[in-house]
Amino acid sequence: MPTTAPAVIRPPQQARSSAALARIFKATQQMLETASFDQIRVNDIAAEADVSVGSIYQRFKKKDDLLWALYDAYLTQTERQFENLVAESHHLSLSVRVADLIELISSLFTERRGVVRSLLVKYRHNTDDIPPNFIARIGAVYDAGVKLIAQAPNSNHSAEDAQFAFSLIMSFIREELLFGDTRRLMPDEEISPHFEKLLHKAVMGALK
Tens-place pLDDT, residues 12-66? 556 678 899 999 999 999 999 888 898 999 999 999 999 999 999 999 999 999 9
What total of structural domains would you count in the chain? 2
| 92 lies in the same domain as 49 | no
pLDDT of residue 128: 78
Does residue 3 belong to any structural domain of this protein?
Answer: no
Looking at the structure, tell me whether residues 19 and 79 fall in a common domain. no
- CATH value at residue 110: 1.10.357
55 and 83 fall within a common domain: no
pLDDT (0 to 100) of residue 1: 36
Judgement on whether residues 34 and 108 belong to the same structural domain of the protein = no
pLDDT score of 47: 96
- How much is the pLDDT for 78? 96
| Co-location of 26 and 98 in the same domain | no
Of 108, 198, 102, the C-alpha closest to 149 is 102
- My answer on whether 106 and 174 are in the same domain is yes
Q: What is the pLDDT of residue 75?
A: 94
Give yes or no for a contact between 156 and 97, defined as CB atoms under 8 angstroms apart: no
Give residue 165's domain range. 63-206
Residues 123 and 149 in one domain: yes
| pTM of the predicted structure, to 2 decimals | 0.84
Residues of the chain whose pLDDT is less than 50?
1-5, 7-8, 10, 182-187
2 falls within a domain = no
Same domain, 39 and 108: no
**In the prediction, which pLDDT does 53 show?**
96
Q: Say if residue 93 is in the same domain as residue 46.
A: no
Asked if residue 37 and residue 72 are part of one domain, the reply reads: no
Find the CATH number of the domain harbouring 19: 1.10.10
Q: Which of 59, 76, 92 is where one domain is finished? A: 59
pLDDT of residue 5: 46
pLDDT score of 188:
52
pLDDT at 189: 60
Q: How far apart are CA 82 and CA 13, in angstroms?
A: 31
Q: Show which of 18, 40, 59 is a domain's final residue.
A: 59
pLDDT recorded at residue 193: 86
Q: Is residue 4 part of a domain?
A: no
* 79 and 103 within one domain: yes
Same domain, 19 and 75: no
> Is residue 5 included in any domain, yes or no?
no
Look at residue 15 in the predicted model and tell me its pLDDT. Answer: 65
Is residue 21, in this structure, part of any structural domain at all?
Answer: yes
Residue 161 located in a structural domain: yes
Residue 72 lies in a domain: yes
